[in-house]
Amino acid sequence: MSDTTHSRPLPSSASPSPPRRIADAYADDLIVLDPVLGTIIGDRASHGRLPDFSPDGIDQLARLAGDTLRRLAAATSQQTVPEGDLATGAGAGAGAGTGPGTGTGTGPGTCTGTGPDAGSDAAIERNCARLLRERLTAELAMHETGETLRSVSNIFSPVHQIRTALTLTPTADDEDWRVVERRLRALPASLESYRAALTEGLRRGLPGGPRQITAMVGQLDEWTGRKGAWFSQFVAPGPEALRKELESAALEATAAVGRLREWLSQVYAPGVAGAPEVVGRERYAVCARYFNGIDLDLDEAYEYGWSEFHRLLDEMRTEAARIRPDAATPWTVLKHLDTHGHAVEGEEEVRVWLQDLMDEAVGRLDGTHFDIAERVARVESRLAPAGSSPAPYYTSPSEDFTRPGRTWLPTMGRTRFPTYELVSTWYHEGVPGHHLQLAQWAHLSDRLSRYQTGVGTVSANAEGWALYAERLMDELGFLSDPEHRLGYLDMQMMRAVRVVIDLGMHLELRIPRHSPFRPGERWTPALAEKFFRAHSGRPDEFVRKEVIRYQGTPGQAIGYKLGERSWLRGREAARAAHRRDGRDFDLKGWHMAALSQGSLGLDDLETVLAGL
């Protein structure tokens, strides 16, 4: 852990720094303070360290963000290209190089956008400036409202960040394992700093949610393990020469997690007993801005969630009738498929099956609907470690691709895996979903800033693309099997339900008259769970943990559907612009241009996509 930020001096007024230089300087300083992020993007100097999550560490992050915003303001106030033009403005000429990510390149994975200056340096600078300003402003708002002092969650907490960092730390040789040992030795102090932040949150009257604590305690029980501590299992493949040191470090880490678990259950849980499980409109708006990159009209978003619910319900009924015309509901059919549908038996067998599914997608999509660079084409299927969230997830490649992108399947003790729930999910997590977008960004890290490709990711942009990717695969005919298509619609329905219940319970909205469920009542977490269970093919335990997740990260779950809407709107606006101009719309070219922009908040995403 470091107590310095290594901040760069402010640029002189005679020579302002371009936004990309400011953004990359910020990223360099940030990973000193947040080595978990450093490991995620592949910074080797980060691998042996862990963050300071204490109030002082949180304040350092806020000071760095504030300093960077002032540098950005000083630099962009002297630029002559209007900020509002974004990637579609009339800035300096279009890029004409042939390397990855350039405006008119011809190699695999290049940007082939057709806007006035899509892919040019001027467009990249404008996009980078807007992203950096939006992200840092949203992060400071989270800091100022105290959200960082009550960061308890069954998926996004600092404890989960630490374990993710460990699973991504290289282990190729003895030196890598020595770095792993250093990181494990740093774990007790990092967890103590997290406890200090939660303690300060309690002192200020900023409690985390009681259900989050119960869920976290249960997860930490698994990590410290009745079947063997996860940390000891993690170091077991290490070299024999370092066996004693690694086992000792693993025991220290396990003991530290055990101490945190006891403190959470015996001190923090009683301290937050009776705290509200919903956040209200004011806190929700701040959190939603952070996860979505836009100041949302929350009531309009709620109505949109309901409209998608009804659309998908009609479509699910039609698809379910293709499988069992006599079934009462689509979810009756899904229950039938759990035991009688296509399935893969065995944990290793399902891992291989998912790998084959992604490899097939790469082979069929490359050259037809995308131009996939060779290193982007590599993606690995993995089984998630015990104690993970029940939902599958993805981890992006390192900047140099020495660590590939990976999809992770939590088995949750199962050995039978119905394929209806896997196919569209792996299009979401792998190809053409998260992997194709985030690996493409990494592929362009020499063209875009490190901030645009690995640091300033907006959740709703990435999740929206992944949900768009599921829909795209349906449009392209990859989900013609009725079981797989019904499973896809069920997952789409889950994302619509998320919008309804996340907004509904946190804002305590009224259930509309057109609802098939409790019309006229006001949402509560208990009603949210019942509604979700009635309209999902997921097991009860999954539903329970999902609702707990939404309670702990308000505004995040809505980004899947709202992000997908932005991607679809951007595509249709671009298609319409081509029609007006008498030009053919090249979907493959649009996809590659869109995936070559780097991160953007929803506030800017549609505008950029429409001009490609």
Nearest to 429 by CA among 442, 417, 438, 420: 438
Q: For the chain, how far is it from start to end, CA to CA, in angstroms? A: 43
Which pLDDT score, from 0 to 100, does residue 213 have? 97
Distances (CA, A) of 4 to 8, 37, 149: 12, 17, 21
- pLDDT value at residue 446: 87
- Quote the mean pLDDT of the chain: 91
3-state secondary structure of 417: strand
Closest CA to 307 of 529, 471, 492: 492
pLDDT, tens digit (0-9, with 9 covering 90-100), for 108-146:
344 434 455 667 889 999 999 999 999 999 999 999 999
pLDDT of residue 101: 31
Q: Residue 16: its pLDDT value, please?
A: 54
Tokens of 300: 């309009």
Contact of 323 with 483, CB cutoff 8 Å: yes
Mean pLDDT for 78-102 is: 35
Q: What is the 3-state secondary structure (H, E, C) of 247-283?
A: HHHHHHHHHHHHHHHHHHHHHHHHHHCCCCCCCHHHH
- Is residue 185 within 8 A of residue 49, CB to CB? The reply is no
Q: Does residue 11 register a pLDDT over 60?
A: no
E strand or H helix at 438? helix 434-443
Share of the chain above pLDDT 70, in %: 90
The residue-averaged pLDDT of 265-271 equals 98
pLDDT in tens, 229-255: 899 999 999 999 999 999 999 999 999
Q: Give yes or no for a cis peptide into 397 (omega within 30° of 0).
A: no
pLDDT at 500: 98
Q: What average pLDDT score do residues 270-292 get?
A: 97
pLDDT of res. 574 = 98
Report the percent of the chain where pLDDT is more than 90. Answer: 86
Report the Cα 264 to chain-centroid distance in Å: 26
How many helices, marked H, and strands, marked E, lie in the chain? 24, 5
Which of the four pLDDT bands, split at 50, 70 and 90, describes residue 77?
Answer: confident
* pLDDT band (50, 70, 90) for residue 226: low
Q: Tell me: the pLDDT tens digits for 290-342?
A: 999 999 999 999 999 999 999 999 999 999 999 999 999 999 999 999 999 99
Q: Minimal CA–CA distance to 110: which of 119, 102, 122? A: 102
User: What tokens does 93 get?
Assistant: 């000429």
* Interatomic CA distance for residues 55 and 74, integer angstroms: 29
Compute the distance between CA of residue 94 and CA of residue 120 in angstroms, rounded to an integer: 5
Question: pLDDT of 370-413, one tens digit each?
Answer: 999 999 999 999 999 887 778 899 999 999 999 999 999 999 88
Q: By the 8 A CB rule, do 4 and 418 touch?
A: no
- Burial of 336: CB neighbours in 10 Å, binned 0-12, 13-18, 19+: middle
pLDDT at position 178: 98
The predicted pLDDT at position 487 comes to 98
pLDDT mean over 424-447: 97
With 70 as the cut, is the pLDDT of residue 1 above it? no
